[in-house]
Amino acid sequence: MDRRSFLQTSTALLLDSKPKRVGLIGCGWYGKCDLLRLIQVAPVEVVSLCDVDSRMLAQAAGIVAGRQASKKQPRTFSDYREMLRQKDLDIVLVGTPDHWHALPMIAAVEAGADVWVQKPISVDVVEGQAMLAAARKHGRVVQVGMQRRSTPHVEEARDRYIRTGALGKIALVEIYCYYSMRARNNPPDTKPPEYLDYEMWTGPAPMRPYNELVHPGRWRAFMEYGNGIVGDMCVHMLDMVRWMMDLGWPQRVSSTGGILIDKNSKSNISDTQTAAFDFSDVRVVWQHRSWGDAPDPKYPWGATFYGDKGTLRASVFSYDFNPAGKKDAVEHRDVTYELEQYPEDKTEARLEKHCAPAIRKHMRDFLAAIEKRGRPVADIEQGYISAASCILANLSMQLGRTLAWDAAKGQVIGDAEANRLLRRPYRAPWTHPDPNRV
């Protein structure tokens, strides 16, 4: 090798070894949680942070500076468009409330970044279609934060009991959440705090009077910003089941429910809801109640797979396998914590310690897909299928009828009213993304 070739090769290797430059949009609870897991598994350099809450932004900048190897303070932005305008980011994490997922994700891939976007990817179906189209058009890797696909004990359960046929024929899967997670109080509307740009926080969503339920962190009380408990908790379990059983789109979706118990709080999401997802010869049935006790206190949020040879229960905390006719579990596994390998987990505020290993593995999968320019385990298309299926459940409940889905056309079959609801109105001056024009 001559000197010029050696220098060219050495320079290329040096450039390849440079840390990925990372930006985070949305510096609240899970935005920081995801970012700090990425810092744990890769020598990245977090150079940019964005949030509409100046106090939250400053706090996040201090935490990141203390955790990343360079100890450098990231630049801070209050508008994601200004951050992306720099076009100097390799990876962008989107950890905003749900109504702010689509526009930043699309803008990030247009700016040349690979993206990690939190679940559910969108608040309406057409947003998801546009996000998928943008990722493919610009050739970017997009990982969705549906980390059950990277949860080690859940992956083990899939391999040991579903892929081997130990459960036999699975015809029914129940998925559920019985957490008391719906806001029940009724605080008065007030002026937004000075440190929050509430106009920008609301963005394309309908403008509601500000009150403390909205920010920080309790915005899921309102359908204006998400899709209720179905959009928050069902999407995780439905996606887990689809991944474990290699299921695609449901052919039909139906749902009933509403606010049946707590009729006095400001929250407008359902406190009771059942949804059925028809995958031909497999039925996946969701139920949530934000009141009362869980039928099985060991599994207040999870999935139960019923096969003719056995039953499998799986959650973020554990799994249990019961062969047919056996009352007690023959096989049990608990989540494996990684507190000694990653001692920061012990003291990090609000960290779901049981989820941290799954997020780290999900991040490693994301980075591997970036390296190979391939599809990650929770590729944007999988995120679109799971989110859209949950949105269809809410639309079914709203309309009071079963919806049949044409996956190829991305439409409800023979239902013009339902198809109009696949796209929510955007508040001016924001423009709804169009999958045909991204």
Question: What is the tens place of the pLDDT at every residue in 130-167?
Answer: 999 999 999 999 999 999 999 999 999 999 999 999 99
Q: What is the mean pLDDT of residues 222-250?
A: 98
How does pLDDT run across 238-271, given as a tens digit for each residue? 999 999 999 999 999 999 999 999 999 999 999 9
Mean confidence (pLDDT) of the chain: 95
CATH of domain 7-148: 3.40.50.720
**Percentage of the residues of the chain whose pLDDT score is greater than 90:** 93
pLDDT digits (tens, 9 = 90+) for 280-303: 999 999 999 999 999 999 999 999
Contact 307, 167 (CB under 8 A): yes
pLDDT digits (tens, 9 = 90+) for 383-436: 999 999 999 999 999 999 999 999 999 999 999 999 999 999 999 999 999 999
pLDDT value, residue 328: 78
Q: Which residues contact 105 (CB under 8 A, 6 or more apart)?
A: 92, 94, 115, 117, 121, 131, 134, 142
Is residue 2 predicted with pLDDT exceeding 80?
no
Question: Using alpha carbons only, what angle is made at residue 106 by residues 387 and 116, rounded to the nearest 5 degrees?
Answer: 65
The helix/strand/coil state of 60 is: helix
Reported confidence tier of residue 16, pLDDT bands at 50, 70, 90? low
Instruction: Indicate the pLDDT class of residue 12, thresholds 50, 70 and 90.
Output: very low
pLDDT at 189: 95
Q: Nearest-CA neighbor of 38 among 343, 340, 367? A: 367
- One-letter-per-residue 3-state SS of 89-117: CCEEEECCCHHHCHHHHHHHHHCCCEEEE
- Rounded Cα distance between 132 and 383, Å, is 9
pLDDT at 185: 87
From residue 14, how far is each of 2, 18, 40 by CA, in Å?
18, 7, 22
For domain 151-340+380-420, the CATH architecture is 2-Layer Sandwich (3.30)
Per-residue pLDDT reduced to its tens digit, 165-209? 999 999 999 999 999 999 988 999 999 999 999 999 999 999 999
Find all residues with CB under 8 Å of 150, minimum gap 6, and list them.
Answer: 358, 359, 361, 362, 365, 377, 378
**What share of the chain has pLDDT > 70, as a percent?**
96
Residue spans of the domains in the chain: they are 7-148, 151-340+380-420
Q: Record the pTM.
A: 0.95
